[in-house]
Amino acid sequence: MPASEPVRVRIPAAGVDTSPVLKLGLAADGTVEVPSVADGDRIGWYTNGVTPGETGPAVLIGHFDTARGPAVLRDVSRVRTGAEITVSRADGTTAVFRVRELEQVGKKEFPTAKVYGDTARPELRVITCGGEITDGHRPDNIILYADLVG
């Protein structure tokens, strides 16, 4: 698919249907931005990568919870392999992805190359936090890896 920014994300298994999609870049420390606490009910797209549906790994990021309470990806634990993720795009097309892998990993062991590295086909990553709260933060990331199917 040609480049076209995401405008709506639906993950039915997790009860997610959110728009508009935030634009995320890099934070001052060089890490990928995350949505603000005020935008806890929205998903952001990492704009330094490809758009969902283009060849390569498009990356979406949302909160599991914030200091304000449950957030957009609070029910990510309901997602299983085979679940669909639908991304509506600014050009009116829709990219449909199927989850092939779920991974929970400590933030210090984040698989940067696996998440952001080049792929030969259109893929999607959805990233949120996970694990039991330690010192006010969740120590893990939960990553959904999905392939374009339609």
The span from the CA of 104 to the CA of 112, in Å, is: 13
Number of domains, the chain: 1
Give the CA distances from residue 146 to residues 26, 38, 107, 143, in Å, rounded to whole numbers and listed in that order: 23, 27, 20, 10
Closest CA to 116 of 64, 59, 43: 59
Spatial CB neighbours of 88, under 8 Å, sequence gap ≥ 6: 6, 7, 8, 9, 10, 19, 94
The span from the CA of 2 to the CA of 33, in Å, is: 25
Q: Residue 99: which domain range?
A: 6-148
In a domain, 24, yes or no: yes
pLDDT in tens, 8-48: 999 999 999 999 999 999 998 888 999 999 999 999 999 99
pLDDT in tens, 60-87: 999 999 888 899 999 999 999 999 999 9
pLDDT in tens, 117-133: 999 999 999 999 988 88
In a domain, 143, yes or no: yes
Q: Given this model, what pLDDT does residue 76 score?
A: 95
pTM: 0.95
Other Cβ atoms closer than 10 A to 42: 18
CATH code, domain with 35: 2.40.260.10
In a domain, 140, yes or no: yes
β-pair partners for 137: 134
pLDDT surpassing 90 at residue 135: no
The span from the CA of 69 to the CA of 11, in Å, is: 20
pLDDT surpassing 90 at residue 137: no
Q: Given this model, what pLDDT does residue 150 score?
A: 84
Q: With residue 112 as reference, give the H or E element that holds it.
A: helix 112-116
Q: Given this model, what pLDDT does residue 30 score?
A: 87
In a domain, 18, yes or no: yes
pLDDT surpassing 90 at residue 143: yes
In a domain, 1, yes or no: no
Characterize the bridge pairing of strands 69-70 and 65-66.
antiparallel
Token pair of 124 as six digits = 């999607």
**What value does the mean pLDDT take over residues 131-149?**
90
